[in-house]
Amino acid sequence: MAHQISLKIYYEDTDAAGIVYYGNFLRYLERARTEFLLDRGISIAELHYQGLFFPVIHVDIHYRKAVKLGETIDITTEIAEMKNASVVLKSHVLRHGTVLAEAHVTFACIGRDGKPRRLPEELRKLRQ
């Protein structure tokens, strides 16, 4: 099931033409991922303090339409794929239901030593 957040676009998000700088989409997707997990009772911060880390290892973004200063966008997030030590999230950036961008973000689970770890049980339960 998809989760949705809304974000307002501020001056700091844009370039000189008032269009969102493409790299800022990564921040928006990260925010959406964190809220997606929190909405399901999973705190990345708590897992971090337990010694589990979740680096993004791959991002694929297709930009379709510009996002501009002053607009409000919605970002939907859902699980596209889950393996033993990684998750692929599918996200859509929308304005009034129109797809502005779509992305697949893969994050892995690693321990303090940097080696892959099995996803914690609370994350694996999201597969169901």
Q: Which residues are catalytic?
A: 15
* Residues contacting residue 16 through CB under 8 Å, at least 6 positions apart: none
- Alpha helices in the chain, H assignment, sequence order: 24-39, 44-49, 121-124
Euclidean distance between CA atoms 113 and 92, whole angstroms: 33
Report the sign of the C-alpha dihedral through residues 65, 69, 72, 73, in that order: positive
Q: Do 21 and 102 form a contact (C-beta atoms < 8 A)? A: no
Q: Which of 115, 110, 62, 69 is nearest to 86 (CA)?
A: 110
